[in-house]
Structure 1
């Protein structure tokens, strides 16, 4: 594994989270995550492609029209990558900021995600 990761790789990961078509999302999840990948954050703990795709669909239902985008530059060492992301309306200040640490398998796909919510701010009407 390399000690660097491009922002494009993080964008590829976030694209899976932004994919609103269930079939295309399932394909994106399979491309990004290993079959037995585990995703853990303060609100979820799921394992496998179907569960991760369902989690993503649930987040999209909870935050309709919101998109994930990278915040800052990712850092990596060995097989671990850490990066921050924002979730909000496209082109606006994201009300939700988080960071993920991911472990990559030998094939480059994600085998484990440890997610953190760094800032949550309610949406004002």
Structure 2
């Protein structure tokens, strides 16, 4: 069985990590991952299908009753697939973990998988971020409507910051007016001389046409808001 990078990302999340039956999970892994697949987690690297099956079983056993939910559609560009996710209780309570999977594919199977997980509420870690003493930090903020900017202001963060105004996890192109509205929200929390204009994150999984259109809209939004200051 082979699939496109986007379809493989859907299978990875919903038919492997949401599959409670170990035999069915092992079958899907055998059909959709290379024999020598490499899976990079935040704290370990798993080599080969056998390690993959074992570690997936361990991960699901750590939090019984939790489910993965996709955030936005799966996407693919060349041989790269991407899908954001949330992970948490299945009883309607808010998810505990958010993150993304990025995979490199070849011949219709996954040959390398990177899982990125974010566990913390930003307000809980802002002091540690301040201690990094970075000149500028870039943060995901588009989906939260600048919540992180408000938390930076509440903490009294003294340096420059770029809360994102372009949600790169979605193929949707943000309009200039939408980006301008987010920048105005950012300015309520961060002074203009310390506010950067940037996407939420890197653009590897996005196609050139949507990237170009989105960045052009970000530039237009910056010009509009700058003229209002």
Q: TM above 0.5, one fold?
A: yes
Answering whether residue 94 of structure 2 is matched by residue 96 of structure 1, we say no
Alignment map for 1:44-123 (pairs within 5 Å): 44-90=44-90, 91-106=92-107, 108-120=108-120
Q: Distance in 1 between matches of 2:62 and 2:98?
A: 16
1:42–1:117: 8 Å Cα contact kept in structure 2?
Answer: yes
* Gaps in structure 1 of 5+ consecutive residues: none
| Larger Rg belongs to | 2
Trace 1:15-34 onto structure 2 (pairs within 5 A).
15-34=15-34
Query: Unpaired segments of 5 or more residues in structure 2?
Result: 122-229
Q: CA deviation at 1:114?
A: 1.3
Please identify which structure carries the higher helix content: 2
Compute the displacement of 1:100 (Å): 1.3
Higher RCO (C-alpha under 8 Å, 6+ residues apart): 1
Match of 1:11 in 2: 10
1:34-49 equivalences under 5 Å are 34-49=34-49
Alignment root-mean-square deviation, CA? 2.2
* SS of 2:95 mapped into structure 1: coil
Compare the two structures and name the one with the higher strand fraction.
1
Aligned residues: 117
Q: TM-score, normalised by structure 1?
A: 0.81
Contact 1:11 1:69 in 2 (8 A): no
